[in-house]
Chain A
Amino acid sequence: MEHKEVSVLIGGRAGEGISSAGQVIAQMLGHQGYRVHMYYDYPSLIKGGHNFAIIRGADQKIGAVRNTVDFLLALNQETVDLHREKLTSEGVLVFRSDAANAEGVAVPVKRLLEEEGAPAVMGNSAILGAFVRAAGMDWEVAETVLRKAIPKQIDTNLRIARRAYDEAEVKTRISPLGAKALPVVTGNEAIGLGLIQSGLGLYCGYPMSPTSNLLHFLVSHGTELRIRVIQPESETAAILMALGCAYAGIRAAVGTSGGGFCLMVEALSLAGIAELPVLVVLGQRTGPSTGLATYTAQADLQFALGAGQADFPRLITAPGDADELMAWAAACLDLTWKYQLPAILLSDKTLCEGMYSLDTSQMRHLQIDLELADKNVSPYTRYSLTESGISPLRFPPASGEIIRVNSHVHDPDGITTENEETTKAMADKRMRKMRGLAEEIEAMDPVHLGGDVDASTALLCWGSNKGICEELGTKMGLRVIQPVVLWPFPERSFARVCKGVERMFTVECNESGQLARLVRQFGYASEDVILKYNGRPFFVDELEALLGRAIS
C-alpha cells in the first residue's frame, strides 16, 4: 500500500525511553521526506505508569495526530491491551515477545540483548530495527538516524537493531516521499533556538512542566553557547534575576507554567513601570492550580493579558508550530529590548513537548535595532520623554552618569515622584511605546491565514491548534485564521484576513473560549466555540466530526 501519511504508536512503562524512541521514529519519517508531528502522553511520575507517543508523518505540514495508527510498537502487554483498538485493519503490531502476548512481528528483545551482551537500556534499538524492516524501509534509514540520535555506544546499538531488522519481515512499505528531509525538534527546543539566535545571555527557570525541558536543553548546550543557565529558589527570583540582568545590559529570558507565572506577576508589573525588557515563556498546562502537570491546555490567555496591577504595555504572542516558535521567540526577545517592556510567549504542553518538522528556510530573519543613547550626551536621562516613548538605553557603569530604574512613579532621572503632571506624562510615555510596537507588529505578518483562504466560513484558532485547523480547513474548505500576536491585538492584519468571512467558528483548548472573548472586543463574533479541556489535544478525526456537526 502507498502511504501518503503514516502513524506509529509506541508505548511502554515510564522510564523505558518512550520519548527518545519516539524521537528516533519521528526522525526516520523526517528522513524519508515526511512532515511529522509527535504527540507524547505521559503521567506525572518517574518510573512505572503508562507512557506512549504517537508519531504521525504526512506529505504536508501537520500539527496533530489521529486516533488510529498504522503501526503499534508495544514494549509491554499493557500497551497492546490499551491501544490495539487504534490499529487500522491493515495495521502492523510490533511487540516484545518476552513481555507481551500478541500476533504480529514478535521481537525477542531479551534474547537479542543477551546474544550481544548488551544492557537492558538498548532494548528499544531492537524494537526500532524490527519496525524499520516491518515498515519496508531501507536499513540505511535506521543506521543514519540512529547514528545521529544515539550518542553513546552506537555500534552495539546498531548491531542489536540490525539483528532485529534481519529477523523481522516486511509487512508494508513506508516509501520515501522525495521531499526535502527536515529536522525534527520539540517545541521547547524550537523556542531555545530562537532565543539563542537573538543573543540570549541568561536563562532562569524553576522546574515546572512543560517548560523544564527548555531549561534542560539550554543548560545542556550552555558552555558551548556561552550562556548562563540558572535555577533559582523560585519563579519570583527567576524573573527578578532576569530584570537585574537586563538593567545591566544582558538579554535574559525565563520559562515557567501557569503556577510559576502567578509568582512572576509581581515582577511583570515591575518590568512594566521600570521599562525593563524580559521574555517570559509561559508553557500552559491543564489547570487551575497544579491541575494536570503533564497535560495540555490553552487556558492562560486571559491571565497573560491581564497579569499585573494597573496598565502597562506588554507583548503577547502565541506561535503555533516549531517554525513559528523559533521565529517568534527570537522576534519577541528583540522586541522586548527595542520597546523596553515585558513579553510573554504563550506555548502549551502540546507544543513544548511535542515534536515538529522545522523548516528554517521559510523563516524571516527580522533585524530589529535597539535604541542606544549617544554616549557623548551628558547627563544621561534614563527615562527621557520622547515622541516614541522609547528612552534610549545605557547600562552601568557609565562614567559620570547615574542610571536609575524604579518601581515607583519616577521622573525622567528615575527619582521617585508624586507629582501629578509627571505621573501622567510617564504613563503616557509608556503607552506611546505601544503605538510603535503595534505598528511594527502589523508589518510582521502577525495573523496567519491558511486553509481555503477564500472560503467565507472561517476557523479561528491560536497556538497549538494551528496545525490541526490548517489540515482540516484545507480538507473541509474552511478559511483558517490564527493570530500569532495576541497583544497588542493586530487589528488591521486581523481585519484583512477576515475580509469576506461570513461565519466564524473558534477552536480552543479551554472551557470558556478565551480567544473568542478577546476578538469579540474588536467586533468579531464567533457563531460557535469548539472547546476541549480534558488535558488532551484535539485528534484529527475527532475535530473533523465536531466541525462537521457545528458548521452544517
Chain B
Amino acid sequence: MNLISRAPNVWCPGCGNFTIQQALKEVITQLAAEEYPVENNVLVAGIGQHGKLFDYMNLNGFYGLHGRTIPIAAGIRLANPNLQVLCVAGDGDCYAEGLDHLIFGAKRNLNVTVLVHNNRVYALTTGQYTPTSTKGYRGRSTPEGIEELPLNPLELMLVSGASFIARGYTGRREQLQGLIREAILHRGFAFVDILQVCVTYNNLTRYYNEHVYDWTKEGVEDYEKAWEKAREWDYNTDAKIGLGVLYRHRAPTFEENHPVPEPLTRDERRTFIENLLDRRV
C-alpha cells in the first residue's frame, strides 16, 4: 500500500515536515518488511502543522486535541499493546498545552514513540513564540521579543524518566531516519526532539547547519554523561548542537505493569456480582 495518502499536502514548500514524513515512511516500510505489519501502527497526532501528518499518511490514526497525544496513546496501548503507537506532536502542542502528559508519559515509561516537530514556533496559528523559542524571539504576540528563556526538552525528559531520548534535525534526514527507527524499536518511552525547520516563521537552517555535530554512539546508557550532553546547548546560547541518541536504558514499561487480562465471560461476571451481593445480606 502507498503510505502517502490522497490528501492534498498544504505544508509550505521546503518545510522540515516533509523530511520527517519521508523518514517515517522509510522506517515504516522497512519495518513492514521485517515483522511489523503496517496495520499495527497507529499515528496519534496533536494539533498544529505537524498534526497534518495524520492526513498525509496512509496509517491508522487518531487525530486528537492540541497537546494531548500521550494520554490517547496510553489508552490505545492499554487496550491493545500489539499496536505500535507513534505520537506526532508539536513544540507548542506538547511543551506548552500538554506538558503534564509528556512528563507523565516519561515517568510511566509508556511504550510509545514521541516525535516532536520542534520548529520552536506556533506555525499553524501563524507565528507566536513557544516554550523552546529563543529569548528575544519576535513573534506576532511578542513584537518586542519574548523575555523568557526557553525550556530544554532533553533535560526535562531526563528528569522525568524517559528511557530513550534523542535529538534529530530535519537537515539530516538519514540520521533522523535511524533515530526514528531506534525509537520505535525501543521498549519504553522513546522521545525524539526533532529540530524542524519552519521556512516561514523561524528559518534556522543556517544556524543549525553551522552548529550541529553528531554525538558518539558509545556510552548512551550513562545517565551522568547524558546530563553533560543535554546541557551542552540550552536552546538559547550559541553552542555546539549535538545530534543522535542522548540516553537509553531498559526499564519496566507502563504496559508491562498493566498487562491485558483475558476478560471474564458474561456468566462469570454475573457470578461475581451474585457472590458480592451475597456478602451484603
Contact = CB atoms under 8 A, between A and B. Distances in A.
Interface of A: 27, 30-31, 148-149, 181-185, 193, 196-197, 199, 201-202, 221, 224-228, 230, 232-234, 236-238, 240-250, 252, 266-267, 270, 274, 358, 360, 395-408, 410, 414-416
B71 A399 contact: no
A398 B39 contact: yes
Given A232-B74, A243-B75, A244-B75, A193 B83 contact: no
B1 interface: yes
B279 A360 contact: no
Interface stretch (B175-183, B235-243, B268-276): B268-276
Given A31-B281, A399-B37, A241 B78 contact: yes
Given A185-B280, A228-B258, A236 B71 contact: yes
A531 to B, nearest CB: 34
B222 interface: no
B63 A184 contact: no
12 contacts: A27-B281, A183-B281, A193-B273, A226-B264, A236-B71, A244-B78, A250-B79, A252-B75, A396-B80, A402-B39, A402-B59, A416-B54
A404 B65 contact: no
Contact of B72 (A31, A241, A360, A414): A241
Q: Chain A interface mostly helix, strand, loop or mixed?
A: mixed
Contacts of B279: 148-149, 183
Nearest to A252: B75
A252 B269 CA distance: 16
A301 B218 CA distance: 60
A244 B72 contact: yes
B42 interface: yes
A415 B39 contact: no
Interface string B95-114: 00000110110000000000
B221 interface: no
B64 interface: yes
Given A230-B258, A234-B100, A400 B1 contact: yes
Chain B interface residue bracket vs A: 35 or more
B30 interface: no
A183 B277 contact: yes
B281 A199 contact: no
A215 to B, nearest CB: 15
A245 B79 contact: yes
A238 B273 CA distance: 26
Contacts of A244: 44, 62, 71-79
Contacts of A242: 75
B82 interface: yes
Contact of A404 (B39, B61, B72): B61
Contacts of A395: 80
A243 B72 contact: yes
A247 B62 contact: yes
B58 interface: yes
Nearest to B100: A233
B84 to A, nearest CB: 9
Given A225-B264, A245-B76, A396 B60 contact: yes
A266 B72 CA distance: 13
B7 interface: yes
Contact of A267 (B54, B65, B258, B276): B65
Contacts of B280: 27, 30, 148, 183-185, 358
Interface in B192-248: none
Contacts of B262: 226
B63 A416 contact: yes
B101 A237 contact: yes
B71 A182 contact: no
Interface in B130-180: none
Given A196-B272, A196-B273, A406-B63, A397 B76 contact: no
Nearest to B57: A402
Contacts of A416: 7, 52, 54-55, 63
B263 A201 contact: yes
Interface string B79-99: 110110000000000000000
B187 interface: no
Contacts of B103: 233
A248 B65 contact: no
B263 to A, nearest CB: 6
Contacts of A201: 79, 263
